[in-house]
Amino acid sequence: MSQVVIAMSGGVDSSVAAALLKQQGYEVVGIMLRLWSEPAAHDDSCVDLVTENKCCSEESVYDARRVAQKLDIPFYLVNVAAPFQETIVDFFYDEYAAGRTPNPCLRCNRTIRFTLLLERALALGADYLATGHYVRVDDDPATGLRRLRRGVDQQKDQAYMLHLLNQAQLRHAMFPLGELTKPAVRALAAEFGLPVAAKAESQEICFVAGNDYRGFVQRYAALRAARAGTAAPADVPGLAPGPLLTLAGEQIGEHKGLAYYTVGQRKGLGVTSAEPLHVIELDPARNAVIVGPAAALAKASFTIREVNYPRGSVPTAPFAAAVRIRYKATEIPAMITPLPGDRAQVDLASPQRAITPGQAAVAYGGTTGDEVLCGGLIEALAC
């Protein structure tokens, strides 16, 4: 009998995944990760900020334990707060300080769930690590290589979030919900009698209190300085005011800090114009926010960094794919040209609005049309 470790969150998806594995005859072990939480703080009104990490709150731990008891499977809570802070929270802060808009869940899936947790699962003697993601993994009949494919439910598909996985990780990965829709999963939760069947989902960043990431960046600057034994910076990178510039370089105002803006933003610029202005670019070198008309947001070419090819080998020539520039974006036909240093050039068939540095661009294709071919973080946009 194969042993499977299921990453539990206390939510309906991982709970149903655990129940399905148990029903299929696997020896199932539930593990929940204790992640980093911001120390208690309060805002300017002295109102306490709830800083409990949403992925491992007391309620979530309680719910996961109840599900494990219902399924009669072992349950463990594993503390990975320190590596989570070093690899995920520091990255999040650094990206905002550099004028980019990060997606910390992408990095967490790669470095925490499918590295630290996978290593723990294998050390326990498990054959697989399972999660509640809506994706599919199978073997290419022609090559035997593992393929990462979109989930059947196009509304819930999370292959975009797992594009960073490699062959070694995919060999030990199981995704019981890949062939299911969300309504079907809800129905199964009720059928299994799981206590979380009606539990709502959270879409917020797990370690940011109140989803106030700008306030978090301000507070975290002091936390990181204290950890390093240095004084907190007077001007926090990403939060220092600077010039608000037109595309022609004319200063028309002052911004509050790069972290307060994202590409495509229209509201909250603090200036008036005959034509609506949008954020076109964040320029950390000049600490400037560049604004312009909506038409200037449309771009067709950009580069990506930290590119991962789930099949393991880097193509030697440009290849066609369908590219998604954000998690929920429509896929656009494109040509991908691999570049030296884990980078690639992406040329879209048609310009798209608000391509945002720091977000991921993921390419799909293959013989099935839904395989993740590669993905990376959006870096530089063509002028």
Q: What is the C-alpha to C-alpha distance for residues 14 and 177, in angstroms, rounded to an integer? A: 9
Q: What is the C-alpha to C-alpha distance for residues 104 and 359, in angstroms, rounded to an integer? A: 10
- Of 55, 108, 374, 383, which one is the catalytic site residue? 108
Classify residue 233 as exposed, middle or buried by CB count within 10 Å of its CB (0-12, 13-18, 19+): middle
Helix axis angle for 12-23 and 182-191, nearest 10°, is 60
Q: What is the C-alpha to C-alpha distance for residues 147 and 32, in angstroms, rounded to an integer? A: 26
Backbone phi and psi for residue 177, each to the nearest 5 degrees, phi listed first: -95, 0
Sequence-distant (≥ 6) Cβ neighbours of residue 265 within 8 angstroms? 278, 279
- Of 46, 206, 374, 383, which one is the catalytic site residue? 206
Q: Is 206 a catalytic residue?
A: yes
Query: How crowded is the C-beta side of 85, counted as CA atoms within 13 Å?
Result: 14
The set of catalytic residues is: 108, 206
